[in-house]
Amino acid sequence: METYYKPQDLPRFGELARGNAELWDKFMAYYGAVFAEGALTEREKALIALAVAHAVQCPYCIDAYSHTCLEKGSNEEEMTEAVHVACAIRGGAALVHGVQMRSVVEKLAM
Amino acid sequence: MGATLFARADPLASAEEQRRRLGAAAPWVPFVQRMGESAMAPLRAIGVDVLQINVGKFCNQTCRHCHVDAGPERREQMSEETARLCVDVLAKNPIPTVDITGGAPELNANFRWIVEQARALGRRVIDRCNLSVLLLKPQADLAGFLAHHGVEVVASLPHYLASTTDAQRGAGAFARSIEALQLLNRLGYGVEGSSLVLTLVHNPAGAFLPPRQDALEAQYRRQLGRRHGIVFNRLYTITNLPISRFLQFLIESGNYEDYMQTLANSFNPSAASAAMCRRMISVGWDGSLYDCDFNQMLETPLRTGACRHIRDFDLSELQTRQIAMANHCYGCTAGAGSSCGGATT
């Protein structure tokens, strides 16, 4: 069965350099700096990345950061809570726009 | 927790079958060849600082990752005669550290005698402890014994959360571990100002490499301190080697090839140079000598000539011996390196 997403494509990410090496190098330098240990630990950043991956629903990032979180010492329990954080923010974002709905209803409805 | 491979008559209970699987043609470069390409073959010992004594395969737990296939059904136990030979070697050779492992080494009838003799000889003594053994009724005085003799406790705790620890070590293992650690803390282990050393050991609970040792130690300190009031001296991260029950887990879960490739891709020549086999000798329950506990479980003999049993121990021969290497050695040379003393680089 054909599918848009194939797990074996994730390791091919580096091929994007072939289209523009300079931009690829700049992106990867930034990416590496973002995930380096700083005020937040590598583990904390990996959990944030996992949550964001679920919020933006990138299957490549979900695959990669599920691996990375385990390799940074996290576990299923912590990672599940991170996914719920993503869910709460995505859901909350939908819900809070309901305030705009309420503004319209309050203006138009009797 | 499930029974041992031995009790299930699993083909991987055989060391020969494990060696066959590990040595089969594979996409990764054979370890010996990789070492040759790094100008590190043959690998030789550079001393014997540690006499690691495996007193037997009997254990009160059957952890999923165990490379010993230890468990309650195992009957291989070091005899009094062999224990005496080990202590004789210590008395005659300037080996500073005795590292006692198993199975659950404390459950061997000669364990306490070995500890007493080694401490009387002024050696550093390490007990590789599964923690739950300290809570067994017949071992009610064990923790006190260890403290009295200044034994360094190196205790396995794969995670600071129960779910992961229990997944690796069995239902209820985490709760028992916490209770045992609190007992050790009350005796002074891991407490600032005390000479009693408590080291925790993290083995990943799955088919992945351990994280940076210092980062994980900081996380363990925060979490164990905040949640349970537990203190300790340091954390070791130890990579799971593809041997025995962990090998069986890798194969059964479909992770074997990916895990071995990860280990091979993470080969670090610095870690190879610092491999623990270069500074230790492993003694089996029957007195046979090996380069390390992993070679012991794979029944891979020393590459020396006559010196194969503790009764023939010859320090001058052993401290410069050629190490017997095979593909499982990728486990100790991956990333930051791994050893019984944690990361090696």
What's chain B's average pLDDT? Answer: 96
Kindly determine whether residue A73 and residue B209, on different chains, have CB atoms separated by under 8 Å.
Answer: no
Question: If pLDDT is split at 50, 70 and 90, which confidence band does B80 have?
Answer: very high
B38-42 CB contacts, 8 Å cutoff, 24+ apart: B38/B267, B38/B269, B38/B272, B40/B269, B40/B272, B40/B273, B41/B325, B42/B322, B42/B323
- Percentage, residues of chain B above pLDDT 90: 95
Contact of B257 with chain A, judged by CB distance below 8 Å, is answered with no
Phi, psi torsion values for B252, nearest 5 degrees: -65, -35
Instruction: Give the residue among B129, B124, B57 at the shortest CA–CA distance from B90.
Output: B124
- pLDDT at B158 (0 to 100): 95
Phi, psi torsion values for B200, nearest 5 degrees: -100, 150
Question: If pLDDT is split at 50, 70 and 90, which confidence band does B336 have?
Answer: confident
Average pLDDT for B71-98: 98
Average pLDDT for B55-73: 96
Q: Which residue has the tokens 């925060």?
A: B222
Average pLDDT for A79-86: 98
Question: Over the stretch B180-227, which tens digit does the pLDDT of each residue have?
Answer: 999 999 999 999 999 999 999 999 999 999 999 999 999 999 999 999
Domain boundaries, chain A: 11-38, 41-110
- pLDDT at B337 (0 to 100): 87
Other Cβ atoms within 10 Å of B231 Cβ, number: 17
The residue of chain B with its CA nearest to that of A42 is B215
With contact defined as beta carbons under 8 Å apart, do B184 and B190 qualify?
yes
Q: Between A41, A76, A77, which is nearest B215 by CB?
A: A41
Contact of B222 with chain A, judged by CB distance below 8 Å, is answered with no
Average pLDDT for B260-269: 96
pTM of this structure: 0.92
Tell which phi-psi region holds residue A66, choosing left (phi > 0), alpha (psi between -120 and 50) or beta: alpha
3-class DSSP state of B18: helix
A49-55 CB contacts, 8 Å cutoff, 24+ apart: A50/A79, A50/A82, A50/A83, A51/A82, A51/A83, A51/A85, A51/A86, A52/A86, A53/A86, A54/A82, A54/A83, A54/A86, A54/A87, A55/A86, A55/A89, A55/A90
Kindly determine whether residue B219 and residue A42, on different chains, have CB atoms separated by under 8 Å.
Answer: no
Q: Above 90 in pLDDT, residue B233?
A: yes
Kindly determine whether residue B205 and residue A75, on different chains, have CB atoms separated by under 8 Å.
Answer: yes
- pLDDT at B304 (0 to 100): 80
Average pLDDT for B306-324: 94
With contact defined as beta carbons under 8 Å apart, do B255 and B23 qualify?
no
Average pLDDT for B296-306: 91
The residue of chain A with its CA nearest to that of B204 is A73
Q: How far away is chain A from the Cα of B204, in angstroms, using its nearest Cα?
A: 8
Q: How far away is chain B from the Cα of A69, in angstroms, using its nearest Cα?
A: 9
Q: Between B159, B161, B211, which is nearest A72 by CB?
A: B211
Contact of B161 with chain A, judged by CB distance below 8 Å, is answered with yes
Question: Over the stretch B98-123, which tens digit does the pLDDT of each residue have?
Answer: 999 999 999 999 999 999 999 999 99
Q: Above 70 in pLDDT, residue B238?
A: yes
CATH topology (fold) of A41-110: AhpD-like (1.20.1290)
- pLDDT at B2 (0 to 100): 57
Q: Which residue has the tokens 């020549």?
A: B269
Question: If pLDDT is split at 50, 70 and 90, which confidence band does B290 have?
Answer: very high
Question: If pLDDT is split at 50, 70 and 90, which confidence band does A18 have?
Answer: very high
> A with B: how many residue pairs have Cβ under 8 Å apart?
38
Q: Above 90 in pLDDT, residue B246?
A: yes
Instruction: Give the residue among B260, B254, B167 at the shortest CA–CA distance from B208.
Output: B260
- pLDDT at B69 (0 to 100): 97
Contact of A2 with chain B, judged by CB distance below 8 Å, is answered with no
Rounded Cα distance between B169 and B175, Å, is 11
With contact defined as beta carbons under 8 Å apart, do B155 and B131 qualify?
yes
Rounded Cα distance between B67 and B178, Å, is 24
Rounded (10°) angle between helices A21-35 and A42-56: 120
Helical segments of chain B, H only: 15-23, 31-37, 80-92, 111-120, 142-148, 162-169, 173-186, 213-228, 244-252, 256-265, 269-273, 293-297, 315-318
Instruction: Tell me the CA distances in angstroms from B307 to B7, B302, B310, B318, one per residue in order.
Output: 32, 8, 8, 8
What's chain A's average pLDDT? Answer: 96
Q: How far away is chain A from the Cα of B203, in angstroms, using its nearest Cα?
A: 10
Phi, psi torsion values for B309, nearest 5 degrees: -130, 150
- pLDDT at B321 (0 to 100): 96
Domains for chain B: give ranges and CATH numbers: 11-331 (3.20.20)
b/e burial code for range A68-99 (CB count within 10 A of at least 16 → b):
bbbbbbbbbebbeebbebbeeeeeeeeeeeee
Q: Can you give the length of chain A in residues?
A: 110
Rounded Cα distance between B207 and B162, Å, is 19
- Percentage, residues of chain B above pLDDT 70: 99
Contact of B287 with chain A, judged by CB distance below 8 Å, is answered with no
Average pLDDT for B154-161: 96
Q: Which site among A37, A42, A66, A72 would you substitute to test the B interface, given the most B Cβ atoms closer than 10 Å to its Cβ?
A: A72
pLDDT higher for A4 or B216? B216
Per DSSP, chain A holds a count of helices (H) and strands (E) of 5, 0
Residue B225 in tokens: 């301190």
